[in-house]
Amino acid sequence: MNSIENTSTCEISAKSNLLIRLSAPSNTIQAKNLRVDTYASFWIQREMLFDQIRTNSYRRAILDQVKQGDVVVDFGAGTGILSMFAAKAGAKKVYALEITDMADVAVEMIKRNKLDHIITVIKQDGSTVQLPEKADVLVSEWMGGLGVDENFVPPLLATRNNVLKPNGIMIPATAKGYAALADDPSLTTILSFWYSKPYDLDLDMMGEFHGNTVLNARHSVLPDQLLSKEEELYELIMKSANKIDADFSFSGESRIIKDGSLSCIAAWFQCDMGNQTVLSNAPDKPATHWGRTSFPIYPPIPVSAGQIVRWTLSSSGVDLMKAIQSWSIRVHMPDGSVVARKFSGTQTPVHSSLFH
């Protein structure tokens, strides 16, 4: 059973006779908007709230930067958690914009915290909302595992253009993406399964599919697994970024820093939260639900310290919450041969899965 199957129809019967029925994402690839559907389910909202590195980072940033009497917009409010932080920080008005049925949960959560006189939940695509006033602060937790990969930036920037005062601030203030070549033996183990004639059948096709899938929440990629220095993929200054900035294309070369088996490109983000703190899912930072986002290279390539690897990684937003990524590597082997591979794929639609 995969994680999508886990997100079947969910009913919560709460203290106050509240009965909320959240429709499950369809188990088919044809689901209209898998990511938005995914965010309507409890497990992912729970995973985000339980990630205390993430949530406390936002809490500190909001408490430090929202001033008494501010108007705040929370784009993609989910359960309303960031809106509640803003209200506690002294905002006079908070607009919580949430596109999915999770907005109904936010309404109830906000009521139970007695903040409903400050926060208004608007169940709508935030980028199309018209508000009666402009905001001093626009806060949003929009990052996928490598930052821009959920293609959340274009609607966020449209919202910024609609609602933020010229001197307003955004939380986070900037975002950068990074990637490095890496050795992730557990990923190799998973991919090699498909090519091992399991169940006495040829399942290579699954390997081809899996090897061209961008994988989220690779907690196994830790500093020791990095085979090269990190390279910067993109930088977004949220106040001035354009829609197009959500796309990136990196092409460069890296020197291998230690012997190993090159089995993926691992990527992560780093956000400046505007209060001199950063939120990042880099391998050397405290663990978050994001882990690393990995771009598989299978079969892995044995590499030695000093070797130069040319590689590319690019991302292109397709649709709301969906991007297509392509990656390639080119390695000059000691015997004079060249190993060159190209891949492309979209991400697994959920953050974590036992089997990905």
Ligand X SMILES: C[S@@+](CC[C@H](N)C(=O)[O-])C[C@H]1O[C@@H](n2cnc3c(N)ncnc32)[C@H](O)[C@@H]1O
> Least separation, in Å, of the C-beta of 104 and ligand X?
12
- The residue (of 3 and 127) whose beta carbon lies closer to ligand X is 127
Q: How far is the CB of 85 from ligand X (least distance, A)?
A: 9
Specify whether the CB–CB gap between 183 and 227 falls below 8 A: yes
Q: Two tokens at 156?
A: 């966020």
Q: Based on CB atoms, which residue is closest to ligand X, 162 or 261?
A: 162
Give the integer Cα–Cα distance in Å for 98 and 73: 11
Query: 22 or 267, CB closer to ligand X?
Result: 22
Smallest separation (angstroms) from ligand X to the CB of 96: 8
Strands 322-332 and 248-255: unpaired
3-state secondary structure of 207: helix
Ranked by CB distance to ligand X, the top (closest) residue is 76
Residue 12: half-sphere exposure toward Cβ, Cα within 13 Å: 14
DSSP state of 226: B
Give me the least distance between CB of 82 and ligand X, in Å please: 5
Q: Which residue, 26 or 304, has its beta carbon nearer to ligand X? A: 26
- Shortest Å, Cβ 222 to ligand X: 24
The answer to whether 80 and 106 have CB atoms below 8 angstroms apart is yes
Residue closer to ligand X by CB (options 78, 145) is 78
Specify the residue, 139 or 262, whose C-beta has the smaller distance to ligand X.
Answer: 139
SS (H, E, C) 266-316: EEEEEEECCCCCEEECCCCCCCCCCCEEEEEEEEEEEECCCCEEEEEEEEE
Nearest distance from C-beta of residue 103 to ligand X, angstroms? 8
Question: What's the min distance (Å) between Cβ of 281 and ligand X?
Answer: 13
Token couple for 23:
């429709």
Q: Is the Cβ of residue 285 or residue 341 nearer to ligand X in the bound state?
A: 285
Shortest spacing between CB 152 and ligand X, in angstroms: 6
Pairing between β-strand 119-123 and β-strand 93-98 as defined by DSSP bridges = parallel
| Interface positions with ligand X (CB under 6 A) | 36, 39, 48-49, 76-79, 81-82, 97-100, 102, 125-127, 141, 155
76 phi-psi bin (left φ>0, alpha ψ -120 to 50, beta other): left
**Residues 145, 292: contact at Cβ < 8 Å?**
yes
Return the bridge partners of 142, or none: none
**Closer residue to ligand X (CB): 285 or 322:** 322
Cβ(84)–Cβ(128) below 8 Å? no
